[in-house]
């Protein structure tokens, strides 16, 4: 049951990485000093807040949308601001700095194999601390922060809370907001140091299976690549033990899973999409997150939240950019009738 402070709030505030993706389709990924031909090019959204808010706007979310972060005083930064305003996203807390460029990623997608290589410029995102966020004045119900491990200033140590991000999340909770986090996938040992302190100040933890495994210390894929549902459940339980207040949601190509603090488990298989349908996977995680956050804000049951998440992810997969494939909520849900679902996930004890 929502307390009075949360009930009086409405909307989702998303803060963190604001990125422009420059997606290039190349005939082959070249060896050093060799040439590759660019066969196509497109520009799209990138970063947790940008992707989630645009998706929510396209879904027709019936509540206010707020963006927070930092962009450069340049053409890409202006593009982001204009794009948000066009989608009726409040940008009063999306600052502009002349001291760093807007963050961007060159995404090289190999024609045929679909393999992607990323060249990322952190830019203004590395400077954002969220100091200007007056959570008591911002009447959003949920504060979604992403991505931990890719926000340099917020990943810094904090003597009291462990990290600056944990301090920011604690301030949001103290003001009466629910908090949600997402993490970037990286091959490192930084998860325990940077992600774990934040979990004590998180209501909804939404991760993919790689991030969940690295944070909780479990291998969620078996040697043959199959999903280990036992390890997955243990990882979710471990994240709750590390401090997540309400629920842990883990998404993966086969579907999604949620475990609540009360011990409820819900599974949902992803859609059975043909290979020719999938144009790019870059935005699937944030699209899944969009569906879940929409449902949590609206008080839907967890099964409906997960279903909306996998449908949003499926819509995202239809385009090489992160959000161009996402249309209306009804269009995403209609994909279930067209394609059906993968085999039902079979949790094992």
Residue 147, preceding peptide bond in cis (omega within 30° of 0): yes
Q: Please state whether beta strands 12-16 and 90-97 pair in parallel, antiparallel, or not at all (unpaired).
A: unpaired
Topology adopted by domain 12-339: 3.40.1190
d(CA 90, CA 79): 15
pLDDT one digit per residue (tens) for the chain, 349 residues: 344 456 689 999 999 999 999 988 899 999 999 999 999 998 999 999 999 999 999 999 999 999 999 999 999 999 999 999 999 999 999 999 999 999 999 989 888 777 878 899 999 999 999 998 999 999 999 999 999 999 999 999 999 999 999 999 999 999 999 999 999 988 888 999 999 999 999 999 999 999 999 999 999 999 999 999 999 999 999 999 999 999 999 999 999 999 999 999 999 999 999 999 998 888 999 999 999 999 999 999 999 999 999 999 999 999 989 999 999 999 999 999 999 999 999 787 6
Q: How far is CA 110 from the centre of its chain?
A: 24
- Domain regions of the chain by residue span: 12-339
Q: Please state whether beta strands 103-110 and 19-26 pair in parallel, antiparallel, or not at all (unpaired).
A: parallel
Can you spell out the DSSP letters for 16-55?
A: E--EEEEEEEESSPPPTT----EEEEEEEEESHHHHHHHH
Can you spell out the DSSP letters for 3-14?
A: -HHHHT--SEEE
Q: What is the pTM of this model?
A: 0.95
């Amino acid at each position: 049951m929502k307390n009075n402070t949360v009930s009086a709030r409405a909307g989702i505030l998303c803060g963190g990485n604001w990125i422009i993706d420059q997606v290039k389709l190349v005939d082959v990924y070249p060896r050093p000093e060799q040439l590759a031909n660019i066969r196509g090019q497109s520009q799209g959204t990138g970063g947790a807040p940008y992707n989630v808010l645009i998706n929510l706007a396209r879904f027709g979310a019936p509540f206010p949308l707020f963006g927070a972060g930092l962009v450069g005083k340049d053409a890409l930064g202006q593009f982001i601001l204009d794009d948000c305003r066009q989608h009726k996203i409040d940008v009063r807390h999306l600052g502009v700095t002349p001291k760093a460029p807007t963050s961007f990623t060159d995404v090289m997608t190999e024609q045929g194999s679909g393999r992607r290589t990323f060249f990322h410029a952190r830019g203004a995102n590395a400077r954002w601390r969220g100091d200007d966020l007056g959570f008591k004045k911002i009447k959003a119900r949920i504060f979604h922060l992403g991505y931990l491990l890719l926000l340099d200033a917020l990943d810094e140590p904090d003597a009291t809370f462990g990290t600056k991000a944990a301090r920011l999340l604690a301030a949001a909770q103290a003001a009466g907001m629910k908090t949600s986090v997402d993490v970037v996938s990286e091959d490192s040992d930084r998860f325990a140091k940077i992600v774990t302190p934040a979990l004590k100040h998180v209501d909804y933890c939404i991760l993919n299976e790689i991030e969940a495994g690295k944070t909780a210390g479990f291998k969620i894929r078996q040697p043959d690549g199959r999903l280990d549902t036992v390890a997955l459940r243990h990882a979710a339980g471990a994240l709750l033990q590390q401090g997540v207040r309400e629920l842990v949601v883990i998404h993966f190509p086969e579907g999604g899973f949620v475990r609540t603090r009360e011990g409820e488990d819900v599974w949902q298989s992803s859609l059975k999409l043909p290979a020719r349908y999938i144009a790019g996977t870059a935005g699937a995680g944030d699209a899944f997150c969009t569906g879940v956050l929409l449902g949590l804000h609206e008080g839907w049951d967890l099964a409906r939240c997960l279903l909306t998440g996998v449908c949003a992810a499926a819509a995202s997969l239809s385009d090489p950019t992160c959000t161009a494939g996402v249309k209306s909520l009804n269009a995403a849900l209609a994909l279930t009738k067209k394609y059906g679902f993968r085999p039902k996930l079979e949790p094992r004890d």
